[in-house]
Every structure is written in C-alpha cells, then in structure tokens.
Amino acid sequence: MVQSDDRPGRDASSYHGFLTALLSDRERLFEEVVEGVELTRKLRFSVCTLLVLTAFYGLAAGAYAGPLQALSAAVKLPVLIVVTLVICFPAFFVVQILVGSRLRLSQVLVLVLAALDLTAILLAAFVPVTVFFLITGANYYFLQLLHVLAVLVAGVFGMYALHEGLAVVCEQRGVYPRKALTIMRAWALLFAFVGIQLAWNLRPFLGDRGEPFRVFRSYEGNFYAAIVYSVNKLLKGEGQSSQEGPDERSSVIEDLLAPPADSVEGTGRR
C-alpha cells in the first residue's frame, strides 16, 4: 500500500493534495490509483476540476462576441469534453480488459480524468494569453486559430501524461501490459477525432461580432475546411470579424477547395 506522506500539501485526501500530486508528483498519484486509494474522492476532485476549468476557458473564449456567447461557450465546452469521454471511454475500457489489463473501471476512469484535468489546467493557464490578444484588438480569425492551437497543445500534453503514467507505474506493477499502451495511443487519436467533430457540431464557441448571437450554427462545411479558410483570411489581413452570412461563408470555404476558375465564377466577388 502507498504510505502516507506527512509533508505539507501532500495529503491526497484533500483537494490541494490532489492538485499537488497531479501537477508535480503524478507518479505518486498513479500509484495511489493502482492501489485503489480513495478512488471516489479522486473521481470527485477530477470531475470538479475538469468542469470548472473548461467552463472558465469557454467563458474567456466566448467573451470575444459578448456576454451571451461567453455564457454559451462556458456551458458547451464542458459538455463537449464530457460527451466525448462518454462516447469513447467504453470502447477503451473493454479493449484494455481484452488485452490483459487488470485495472478496474473506476481506476481507468480516474486515470483518464486525471489526463483531462491536466488538459483543463493548461487551458486555464492559456486564458491570460487569449485575453491579452482579445483586448489588444486581435481579429476573429487570429483568435480562432489561437484557440485551436491552445486546445491542441493542452490535449497532447494531457494524453502524453496519461501514457507516461500508465507506462511508468502500471506496467511496472504487472497490471497493465505493454501492448495496451499502443491501444491507448490509438484511442487518444479516436478521442481527438470524435472531439473535433462534436466541437464542429456544437459551434460557435468563439462567436462572431458580425453575426447575431446563436447557440448553434447550421451552415455546412467541416472543421478542416474552416481552418483553411481562417488561415486564408488571416494572411489576407481581412477585417476584425466576418461580415458574411452563414451561407456566404460556407460557399467561400467550398471555393477554397475548388479550382480557381470555379471559385471566381461561383462567388462573383473576387
């Protein structure tokens, strides 16, 4: 069993101790999870951290388009993470069992949530950067790309921490086979793809000052085409926000992926 630690801030039964272990002593945290130490408390701490910090980041992102969009994004971002986890976690857990993992469902769930907590913490750390560009006049397209980059960096770091924790702690104790680590990496990609598509369905998060507030948008397209469009608009140095309607913006995205001649004829604006 994991021995208790009497040093200040190291009590894993407190929220402060949980955060300390998560940020600076993850090996100890993973050892406690493998030993089954206070899993219910860790699960509660993990869920609270994830919901609060992702809501905080959503609030900062949506502030670009006003208070209604900020509130909407603060609700939708935690929903995005939780729903993605609900969709992806069952397959991950079942496959882990099939390849020989001896971790219980609650243990695997706490480990995955700990990785998502690290993602949420890093996102919260990016908030001052996003607010700085928000108040210094960054345009819609720059902020869109900035948020995509922040989420990407935070997500990669969180999944890397999960991988390292499983490799260092679980495998050494003989409860997690090495081949399961390969599956974990594949699952991380699946989680990202599901999350990206769900985020596209729940858009907008950032919001556009040039359009009226809407909880969801209905125009067609996909995430990758939208990124190409944002890069194109940023490089051309166009406006503080988009003044195009939903149908117009969708057609522009399609034009970017079509031959130049078709683009000119299709838009009538170039």
**pLDDT at position 8:** 42
pLDDT in tens, 153-187: 999 999 888 888 777 766 667 777 777 788 888 88
**pLDDT at position 172:** 66
**pLDDT at position 99:** 82
pLDDT in tens, 85-128: 999 999 989 988 888 888 889 998 999 999 999 999 999 999 99
Give me the mean pLDDT over the 67-96 stretch: 93
HSE, side-chain direction, 13 A CA sphere, residue 11: 7
**pLDDT at position 17:** 87
**pLDDT at position 169:** 66
pLDDT band, very low/low/confident/very high, at 4 (cuts 50, 70, 90): very low
**pLDDT at position 52:** 97
Percent of the chain scoring above 70 in pLDDT: 77
Answer whether residue 45 shows pLDDT above 60.
Answer: yes
38-47, 61-70, 177-186, 191-200: the lowest-pLDDT one: 177-186
The secondary structure of the chain as a DSSP string is -PPP--STT--TTSHHHHHHHHHH-HHHHHHHHHHTTTHHHHHHHHHHHHHHHHHHHHHHHHGGG-HHHHHHHHHHHHHHHHHHHHHHHHHHHHHHHHTT----HHHHHHHHHHHHHHHHHHHHHHHHHHHHHHHTT--HHHHHHHHHHHHHHHHHHHHHHHHHHIIIIITTTTSS-HHHHHHHHHHHHHHHHHHHHHHHHH--SS--TTS---SS------HHHHHHHHHHHHHHT--SS----HHHHHHHHHHHTS-HHHHHHHHS--
Give me the mean pLDDT over the 6-18 stretch: 65
Give me the mean pLDDT over the 69-98 stretch: 92
Q: How far is CA 198 from CA 83, 103, 138, 204, 215, in A?
A: 9, 29, 26, 11, 14
pLDDT in tens, 211-266: 777 777 765 566 767 777 777 877 776 544 444 444 444 443 344 334 444 444 44
**pLDDT at position 127:** 95
